[in-house]
Amino acid sequence: MRVNFTVNGRQQEADDVWEGESLLYVLRERMGLPGSKNACEQGECGSCTVRLDGVPVCSCLVAAGQVEGREVVTVEGLADYAKQRAEHGGCATGTCGTSLDAAKSWEARPLDGQAGEQGELSPIQQAFIDAGAVQCGFCTPGLLVAADELLERNAEPSDADIREALSGNLCRCTGYEKILDAVRLAAARQEEAV
Amino acid sequence: MAQHPQVATAPAGTPTNLSQGSKTKGGIGESTLRPDGTLKVTGEFAYSSDMWHEDMLWGHTLRSTVAHAEIKSIDIGEAVAMPGVYAVLTYDDLPTEVKNYGLEIQDTPVLAHGKVRHHGEPVALVAADHPETARRAAAKIKIEYAELPLITDEASATAPGAILVHEGRDDHHIGHVPHPNIVHRQPIVRGNADEAAARADVVVKGEYTFGMQDQAFLGPESGLAVPSEDGGVELYVATQWLHSDLRQIAPVLGLPEEKVRMTLSGVGGAFGGREDLSMQIHACLLALRTGKPVKIVYNRFESFFGHVHRHPAKLHYEHGATKDGKLTHLKCRIVLDGGAYASASPAVVGNASSLSVGPYVVDDVDIEAIALYTNNPPCGAMRGFGAVQACFAYEAQMDKLAAKLGMDPVEFRQLNAMEQGTIMPTGQPVDSPAPVAELLRRVKAMPLPPEQQWLAAGEEADVRALPGGLSNTTHGEGVVRGIGYAVGIKNVGFSEGFDDYSTARVRMEVVGGEPVATVHTAMAEVGQGGVTVHAQIARTELGVTQVTIHPADTQVGSAGSTSASRQTYVTGGAVKHTCEKVREKVLELGRRKFGSYHPAWATAELLLEGGKVVTDGGEVLADLVDVLEGDAVDLELEWRHRPTEAFDLVTGQGHGHVQYSFAAHRAVVEVDTELGLVKVIELACAQDVGKALNPLSVVGQIQGGTTQGLGVAVMEEIIVDPKTAKVLNPSFTDYLIPTILDTPTIPVDVLELADDHAPYGLRGIGEAPTLSSTPAVLAAIRNATGLELNRTPVRPEHLTGT
Ligand code: FES
Ligand code: FES
């Protein structure tokens, strides 16, 4: 089958997709976007987390056919997504979350090369580096997408909020403490910037 | 469309484009940020499962569904006939007489021949144009098995007439093991444990069971093999030791080592689980057979069969102590289940026995450790390597003794703590700082977390802070707190006479008007941060800002394994050593070019600092740019730590270890005694790291190691059905690793007592925290519940007696 959808603001078309192929497989193996990781392919680890119409999902559990006509943001598009959010006022109150409409109306500037070449990172990406929250980094893309969505919903999350929001993302290397630090750091910087 | 990580020309997918590294500042002792951090947060860092080639095929492995059986027949007809299938390989297709591999003993078949010895053993391979086609084709292969009796434990392994897991063994351990189903046996006898026992006022005995833990690294076993024009193969793969893989791969393929070119691709964690080969040979065989690039990526289910696990163990311990609290003796027997193939079992036995006493002074010991061959899943290296199981047992014993003597458990440990100069049970003196009592003091001195944190003043209980969490199983009734302590000792580096060395190539030249150092090693960066530290070392030694880390590959000499907490010590040592020699050459060059301008060139102690040659008095003699202009200094050198020796096979005596590292933990838990649910509230750690080359990474390593120890204490275990020897829980649904909700805050107190024998005084750090966190959590749960608890992991039924 053929699937048409938007990835990181760019219209994409995938041909000859098998019935059983997951969104994760299509992103990684057909779109050339291997940033979303394949650690369990069972919905247990969160490494493959992307936003589908603004909502964080395990892309390994989404059948490719389900994304027809929809909007996907992966870690590769995170910096741009965060930037656009900041430019459009984002969510400063900590209560608004992402409405489906708001998510749908979001449009990324299409990237020509791979993400990151522009050298700009989203606050959460920078915070992960600065806090030492990245070791092997395999969990990182999924955690970043989940943490970014948390900060969009809740600008001042408590530790318990952070733990709850990231409880679906396994990390085997860090012991999570520095991941908590990173989210706190990004929240604090966001606060400062307002 | 964005580009795939293509490997045809440049390995853009490999974690090698670390040019960002050059922008990161910082010498040793600074919390320099990872050079690969930006790539990792943008999704560009290409792990082994991200490798991609335009015209590649997908490989898939067919694995045995039974644990022990003769293979009667294999019918690949239907599989080969499927459209999209390019090759189906079995044992008969192996190209040479070398059909087995192994780290120390070559007993592991590339593909099963004649029989299978464990559930999940690879039997056949398929290459197809889509991973699903490959899987479906594999499912069409028909295998007829005739099942054999199972060897699953010590009793069945050594029973009279027991079937041998490996008939006709001819490895070098067979001469000293009491039974061919025992891989290796290491006794340690020192003093006279029987006589010393007579002096004991109290004696405690215990039998402990340590469950089978999985490394559960998140990046699945995977890689890409690309056939090359000269008949060789390029392999992009995640591993812990490129050269060890190469040594095992090339003979099976019938290729000289130069024709198997390996490049490290991004490694998503390792923890010992990538020391053994997984898909390496399989991908190469398929690539060479089909003439096309072949990618293999295990899914999580397969990953549980694709690597060796931590040895489950039974430990029998007897300690005695005098009434004033001095340990008199230790008698212990440690039985490790090595599973169907040897892997690292012999070395694990050496570690378990030589570290079975723990960081305590006991002069009279009678110790025996063995590893069995069984039909259970093969076990080998995992963080802590044999020392973990022993620590679980001896720390439980320390608490039992303290309780029997009516002493404080920490004071009792401190009273018996080893220190610099203590003689190990192997007769080897501990010749660097051993701050065991101090680490315990520090961890005890940390402030305790407040009681009943689920209650904020006047508000309803926050269930998220309670055992059971969001499942809302309690509001605090039936919840009791417990506190427990533990401390452990781990050896650093490869032991028992192993020629443990590493190689570094360092080049210095002027690029774009700036002095640049390039560091090339074959070190596997598995997430631990070695690449960061290498750049820090080069900056410190060579006085430059710009350091490029060259891709890790087999074009440079071996770096040894990224394991045994050795990589910063040994490859870091090699980088330091090579930088020092490069510095000498640079100074020679300077002397030749500018020596006549200033007498200090000949007389003073010269340093490289801030891109300049300076005297030890701080006088600038030249810019490195001017010294290096038109020249490059390039050296590749090996570096070794001081030698070790084998343990005597009868007495266990021998200077077998290079260095020790020590960590202590205090665990605070809350247990819902009604449902048997445990919440670990805090897991504080104090560790001596000798010298923290990168404090941020050091703390990250300690917290990560602590969490893996927490996992095995309360949730992690591969469950093997004792009746069928089949793995019952190969998924993240059923094999649980700690989530962020299961992991408490982990305050870390880092001590830096330099080891004069090591580069910069550093001490290996990665493993020690994994040792003591498990027994600390167990001690805290015992403290909360009053239960004996002698196995890991503790499950609700052990706490509620159901
Ligand atoms: S890969 Fe999708 S949740 Fe693990
Ligand atoms: S950093 Fe390795 S899994 Fe999280």
Q: Does A80 lie at the interface with B, CB-CB under 8 angstroms?
A: no
Comparing CA positions, the residue from B261, B256, B301, B299 lying closest to residue B280 is B261
Comparing CB atoms, the residue among B268, B529, B706 nearest residue A138 is B268
pLDDT tens for each residue of B591-650: 999 999 999 999 889 999 999 999 999 999 999 999 999 999 999 999 999 999 999 999
In short, whether B704's Cβ falls inside 6 Å of ligand 2 is no
Please say if the pLDDT value at position B727 is more than 70. yes
Ligand 1 binding pocket includes A96 (Cβ within 6 Å): no
> What are the residues facing B6 on neighbouring strands?
B52
Q: B114 — phi, psi (to 5°)? A: 80, -55
What's the pLDDT at B464?
Answer: 85
B41 touches chain A (CB under 8 A): yes
Instruction: Please work out whether the CB of residue A39 comes within 6 Å of at least one atom of ligand 2.
Output: no
Helix, strand, coil share of chain B (percent; to 5)? 30, 25, 45
CA angle B230, B231, B237 (to 5 degrees): 100
**Band of pLDDT at residue A89, cut at 50, 70 and 90:** low
Contact B531, B45 (CB under 8 A): no
* Closest alpha carbon to A37 in B185, B611, B266, B617: B266
Structure tokens at B116: 């299978």
How does residue B151 score in pLDDT terms, banded at 50, 70 and 90? Answer: very high
Instruction: Indicate the range of A56-70, B1-15, B364-378 predicted with least confidence.
Output: B1-15
From residue B603, alpha-carbon distances to B453, B543, B612, B622 in Å are 66, 20, 17, 15
Q: Write the DSSP symbol of residue A90.
A: -
Contacts (Cβ under 8 Å, ≥6 apart) of B674: B474, B477, B478, B800
- Residue A109: pLDDT over 80: no
Q: What is the pLDDT at residue B525?
A: 96
Are the C-beta atoms of residues B334 and B313 closer than 8 Å to each other?
yes
Least confident of B26-40, B104-118, B678-692: B26-40
For B453-474, the pLDDT digits (tens) are 888 766 788 888 899 888 888 8
DSSP B295: E
Q: Report which secondary-structure segment, H or E, holds A57.
A: strand A55-58
CB pair distance less than 8 Å for A172 and B740 = no
A164 in reach of chain B (CB within 8 A): yes
Report the nearest atom of ligand 1 relative to the CA of A48. Answer: 2
Per-window interface: B 247-306 vs A, CB < 8 A: 266-271, 297, 299-300
Is A7 close to ligand 2, i.e. is its CB under 6 Å away? no
End-to-end Cα distance, chain A: 46
Q: Give the lowest-confidence range in A190-194, B9-13, B181-185.
A: B9-13
Q: Using the predicted structure, report yes or no on whether residue A95 has a pLDDT greater than 50.
A: no
From residue A141, alpha-carbon distances to B37, B42, B211, B230, B565 in Å are 12, 7, 32, 38, 27
Closest Cα of chain B to A118: distance in Å? Answer: 11
The nearest CA of chain A is from the CA of B369 a distance in Å of: 30
Strand order across the B620-623 sheet: B606-609, B612-615, B620-623
- Mapped to the 3 state alphabet, what secondary structure does B76-115 carry? CHHHHHCCCEEEEECHHHCCCCCCEECCCCCCEECCCCCE
- Taking the Cβ of residue A35 and every Cβ of chain B, the question of whether any pair is shorter than 8 Å is answered with yes
Give the separation between CA B456 and CA B591, rounded to whole angstroms: 70
| Residue A104 in this model has a pLDDT that exceeds 60 | no
**What are the tokens at B705?**
């190691």
Percent of chain B past pLDDT 70, that is, above it, reads 97
Peptide bond into B793 cis (omega under 30): yes
Residues 369-408 of B with CB under 8 A from A: none
Name the packing angle between helices B242-253 and B280-290 (round to 10°): 40
Ligand 2: nearest atom to the Cα of A143? 4
Q: Is the pLDDT of residue B165 over 70?
A: yes
State how beta strands B514-520 and B546-549 pair: parallel
Q: Of A136, A162, A166, which is closest to B269 when you measure between CB atoms?
A: A136
Tens digit of each residue's pLDDT (9 = 90 or more) over B670-697: 999 999 999 999 999 999 999 999 999 9
Ramachandran sector of residue B87 (left: φ over 0; alpha: ψ -120 to 50; beta: rest): beta
**For residues B29 and B536, what is the distance between their CA atoms, to the nearest angstrom?**
8
pTM of this prediction?
Answer: 0.94
For B475, the token pair is 């509001």
Which ligand 2 atom sits closest to the C-alpha of A135? 1
Rounded distance between C-alpha atoms, residue B398 and residue B402, angstroms: 6
The DSSP output letter for B449 is P
Question: Measured from the CA of A47, which atom of ligand 2 is nearest?
Answer: 3
Residue B728 has pLDDT above 50, yes or no: yes
What is residue B1's predicted lDDT score, i.e. its pLDDT?
A: 38
Task: Count A/B contacts: CB-CB distance under 8 Å.
Answer: 208
pLDDT at B337 over 90: yes
The two tokens of residue A2 are 């053929």
Which chain A residue has the Cα nearest residue B769?
A175
For residues B275 and B103, the answer to whether their CB atoms sit within 8 Å is yes
The whole-angstrom distance between A192's CA and the closest CA on chain B is 22
| Minimal-distance CA residue of chain B relative to A34 | B50
CA distance B517 to B521: 13
The chain B residue lying nearest A40, using CA atoms, is B300
CA nearest to A118 within chain B:
B42
**Which among B237, B234, B239 is positioned nearest to B223, based on CA atoms?**
B237
B375 is written with which tokens? 């039909």
The residue with greater pLDDT, A105 or B245, is B245
Mean pLDDT calculated for residue range B37-42: 96
ipTM of the complex: 0.95
- Searching chain A, which residue's CA lies closest to the CA of residue B13? A34
Work out the burial of residue B201: count CB atoms within 10 Å of its CB; fewer than 13 is exposed, 13-18 middle, 19 or more buried. middle
Which one of the ligands is nearest to A37 CA?
A: 1
Residue whose C-alpha is closest to residue B33's, from A145, A75, A140, A135: A135
A112 has pLDDT over 70: no
**Mutual orientation of helices B409-416 and B436-445 as an angle, nearest 10°?**
160
B570-592 pLDDT per residue, tens: 999 999 999 999 999 999 999 99
Mutation pick for ligand 2 pocket among A166, A173, A178 (CB with most ligand atoms within 8 Å): A173
Distance from CA of B106 to the nearest CA of A (A): 30
DSSP state of A27: I
Looking at per-residue pLDDT, the higher value among B576 and B54 belongs to B576
* B415 pLDDT more than 50: yes
What part of A 83-122 touches B (C-beta under 8 Å)? 111, 113-116, 121
Query: Is the CB of A173 within 6 Å of ligand 1?
Result: no
For residue B706, the chain A residues in CB contact (below 8 A) are 175
User: For chain A, give me the number of helices (H) and strands (E)?
Assistant: 7, 5
Kindly list the residues from chain A whose CB atom is less than 8 angstroms away from the CB atom of residue B267: 136
Six-digit token string for B797: 């039924």
Q: Give me the DSSP letters along B132-200.
A: HHHHHHHHT-EEEEEE-PPP-SHHHHHSTTPPPSSTT--STTTTT-SSTTEEEEEEEEES-HHHHHHT-
- Residue A143 Cβ < 6 Å to ligand 2: no
Ligand nearest to the CA of A172: 2
User: Letter for the amino acid at B139?
Assistant: A
A190 touches chain B (CB under 8 A): no
B65 interfacial to chain A (CB closer than 8 Å):
no
pLDDT of residue A119: 62
Give B473's contacts (C-beta < 8 A, 6+ positions apart): B466, B467, B672, B675, B677
pLDDT at B497 over 50: yes
Q: Which residues of A touch B745 (CB under 8 A)?
A: 177
Q: Are B427 and A127 in contact (CB under 8 A)?
A: no
Cα separation of B124 and B64, whole Å?
9
Question: Using CB atoms, which residue from A132, A167, A172 is nearest to B740?
Answer: A167
**Ligand index nearest the alpha carbon of residue A36:** 1
CA triplet B691, B692, B694: central angle to 5 degrees? 150
CB contact under 8 A, A132 and B737: no
Task: Inform me whether the C-beta atom of residue B732 falls under 8 Å from chain A C-beta atoms.
Answer: yes
DSSP structure string for B26-94: --TTS-PPPTTHHHHHHT-S-BGGG-B-TT-EEEEEEE-SSSSEEEEEEE-HHHHHSTTEEEEE-GGG-
Looking from the CA of residue B218, the nearest atom of ligand 2 is: 3
Residue A137, phi-psi category: left (phi > 0), alpha (psi -120 to 50), beta (remainder): left
Region B241-261: what's the mean pLDDT? 97
Report yes or no: B655 and B644 within 8 Å, Cβ to Cβ: yes
pLDDT of residue B16: 42
Any atom of ligand 2 within 6 Å of the Cβ of A170:
no
Render the burial of B625-651: b for 16+ CB within 10 Å, e for the rest.
Answer: eebbeeeebebebebebeebeebbeee
Residue B333: pLDDT over 50 = yes
Task: Report how far Cα B458 is from the mean position of its chain's Cα atoms.
Answer: 47
Look over chain B and give the mean of its residue pLDDT values, rounded to a whole number.
Answer: 94
Closest atom of ligand 2 to A172 CA is 3
Question: Both ends of chain B: CA-CA distance in Å?
Answer: 58
Give me the helices (H) in B367-524, please. Answer: 387-405, 409-416, 436-445
What is the C-alpha to C-alpha distance for residues B278 and B308, in angstroms, rounded to an integer?
Answer: 9
Asked if residue A60 has its Cβ within 6 Å of ligand 1, the reply is yes
Beta strands in B456-553 (DSSP E): 479-492, 501-511, 514-520, 546-549
pLDDT band at B317 (very low <50, low <70, confident <90, very high): very high
Distance CA B367, CA B425 (A): 9
Q: What is the mean pLDDT of residues B415-436?
A: 97
- Cβ(B790)–Cβ(B209) below 8 Å: yes
Q: Burial letters for A170-186: b for 16+ Cβ neighbours within 10 Å, e otherwise?
A: bbbbbbbbbbbbbbbbb
Backbone angles phi, psi at B270, to 5 degrees: -145, -60
Instruction: Provide φ and ψ at B310, rounded to 5°.
Output: -75, 135
